[in-house]
Structure formats: structure tokens, C-alpha cells
Amino acid sequence: MYPITYISLPYWNERPKKTIIKSVVLHCSTHEAVPMIKLLKRLHLSAHFVIGTDGRIFQLVPEEKRAFHAGVSRWRNMYNLNHYSIGIELSTPKMGQTAYHETQIKAAMQLCRDLVRRYDIPSANIVAHSDVAPTRKPDPGIMFPWKKFADNGIGLWYDIADAEKVLENDKAVLLEQIGYDTRNPAAASYAFCRHFLPQLVATEDDVTKLIAQVYPPDFNIPDEYLPVLKACAYAFTKSD
């Protein structure tokens, strides 16, 4: 069992009655773990867990309580992910634009695997903050190892051969089948690329600009990458 350091924050409330935990939302911050916790306290925010670059895990809020981490958010049939999710913050100096530390990723996978097991969380609901809030958030960034997580039984990845099994070609429909809120198509498309096609996402040395301009307003997934979108839609619909 991975060691956990408990640092309680008061910024939580009760989950709505009869609500069950059925998602993990992964975040990142440029701050190391302890300064991040101090910042969350100052902002009256919280997450259930914070994982430092050295792999240390801190728990700030009891899992059964509703932490203040996802904000206005939507994924599949869930509105306001705070109700349904466990929030995990990871320290990374460039908002996930540089490689995560291996020790940190190992700790995150151990924690996520345990949460998935204990709450029977669907693979389709292991998501990025950028997935559930595509107009507002870029985290945990293009270097988060989603495929590695999926290969270890945490979340979903795609098999490009499955693209041939999908007849739908409308990108918005395919994004909705995965789980994205497509009311802003450019934001949803860019969030999808952050997760599955990071090579199409521009890096930004100025993190403040990255946070202020989360997506290009006219972005559209290039047609040559439609098979990836179709293969992902197949993986997510098959998981239902």
C-alpha cells in the first residue's frame, strides 16, 4: 500500500444524496505539493489528493466528501464532476508540458488503480480536467501518459484498427460519443487532442498564456486524424 500524508483542508461539502463516486479527474499545478496545498487553502479550493514530483501522496479531503476541484464541468451524463469524482492534483513545473517524474506517475497509478477497484469506476471516466472543462482548463497537459495508464488498466486508449468499425464521420457526434461537451466544438476538439493527439497541441513557454488561452478558437481536428477519433469513439462506446 502506498503511504499517504494527511493534511486536512476545510473546503469541501457533502455529495448530493444517492450520488456515487464514478470518476477520477486528474489535474496538475506548477507548484510543488506543499506550496500547492497552501495555494489551494488560500483560494478556498481543494482536491482529494495531491501528488508531488517525488511521488509523495497527500490527502486533503475524505474520499466520501465533495472536494472543490473541477468547477463547472461535464462528462458523458455527469454535470458538475465534483459531485461524482475523486480529484487528484499532480505537481509539474510547466503544466504538463514536460515529462512527469516516473516516481510520481508510479504513485499516481497505484492510487488510481486502488480507487478504480474500490469504487468500481468505469474506464471511460478516468479523465483530464481539460476533458471535463475544455473551454477553461489545459491540465494535466500533453505529457501526461494516458496510454501508459490505460495499458495498466486505468482509463481507455484506442486501437486504430477499430476505426474501420465506425461508420459515423461527424466529428462532433464522435466527440459526444466519447463524452465531450461539444457546445464549443473547437474547445472539445482541442481537449480531445490534449488527451489522444498531443502532437497537434502547441506548447507555450509562458504558463500564464497557456492558462489564459486554453484552445485556438478556430481549431478543428485535421481530417487525416479522423481514424483516431473514430477508434476512440469505438473504445468508449464499447466500454458502456
Q: Known catalytic residues?
A: 89
Q: Give kind and range of the element (H or E) at residue 36.
A: helix 33-43
Angle, helix 185-196 to helix 171-178, in steps of 10 degrees: 60
Q: Residue 145: what residue type?
A: P
Q: How many angstroms separate the CA atoms of 177 and 115, rounded?
A: 25
Contact status, residue 11 vs residue 38, Cβ threshold 8 Å: no
Contact status, residue 75 vs residue 131, Cβ threshold 8 Å: yes
Place of cell 473514430: 230
Q: Residue 203: what residue type?
A: T
Q: How many angstroms separate the CA atoms of 155 and 22, rounded?
A: 12
Q: How many angstroms separate the CA atoms of 61 and 139, rounded?
A: 21
Q: How many angstroms separate the CA atoms of 5 and 174, rounded?
A: 41
